[in-house]
Amino acid sequence: MPGYCAFCHTAVADGVPWCADCFADMPWNHGACGLCAEPLPTNALAPSTPRRCGRCLRHPPAQTSAWVPLRYESRMTPLIQRYKFSADPRAGEVLIQLMLASLSRGLDLGEAVIGVPGQRERTREQGFDHTAWLTKRLAERLKLPMVEAERLRETPSQRGLDRVSRRRNVKRAFAVNQPLPAAVMIVDDVMTTGATLESLALACRAAGARQITALAFARTPSVRI
């Protein structure tokens, strides 16, 4: 409904699909780990200290930074589910605009955008590749070229798997078959353990990228995994 808040249906007049109250009440992922976007306690570190979770301090991931502005809870859960499982383009556009509104001015987005390749069977069932749709439109808005990665094998759904099983499930599942610039951004819709994005980050490193920003629209706190 153009002109109305996508969350409470209040009339809005500033061209964005949300009202000020709903935007302020979104489950923002403030103070997250800078490498995996895991939500951290607000008082875990001094504001000037780069935030890292204990897991990333012990085992740094393949990406060099992560930007996931929201948590997968509250208002974000039905929004993402409407987009992902009902192919609702209005919900997808709201996700894109929320991401663009959240981007930090100091964030280096790199020189190319690579989305996580969808499962062929799942894409046929749903009628579209939901991550590719988001990645293409995000790349267009950011005026960056989009590079397609290849899924080397079909993998079982990550739903219901623990962290170790997720990593094993997507290990060496992707490839990028062209040289990449030094700095790139990789995109998924929801980041749960980060296993899928890290697998894609490793493929990007093999193709020449060295600075890799993992970007997703929402992060599932690990306490719920």
Average pLDDT, the chain: 88
pLDDT at 170: 75
Of the given ranges (1-10, 85-94, 150-159), which has the lowest mean pLDDT? 150-159
The tens digit of pLDDT for each residue in 187-196 reads: 999 999 899 9
Q: How many CB atoms lie within 10 A of CB 198?
A: 23
Q: What is the mean pLDDT of residues 48-70?
A: 89
pLDDT at 165: 65
Residue 85 contacts by C-beta under 8 Å, 6 or more apart in sequence? 126
Helix, strand, or coil (residue 199): helix
Domains of the chain: 28-224 (3.40.50)
Q: With 80 as the cut, is the pLDDT of residue 45 above it? A: no
Q: With 60 as the cut, is the pLDDT of residue 49 above it? A: no
pLDDT at 224: 42
CA distance 167 to 171: 6
pLDDT at 164: 66
End-to-end CA distance of the chain: 35
| Percent of the chain predicted with pLDDT > 90 | 67
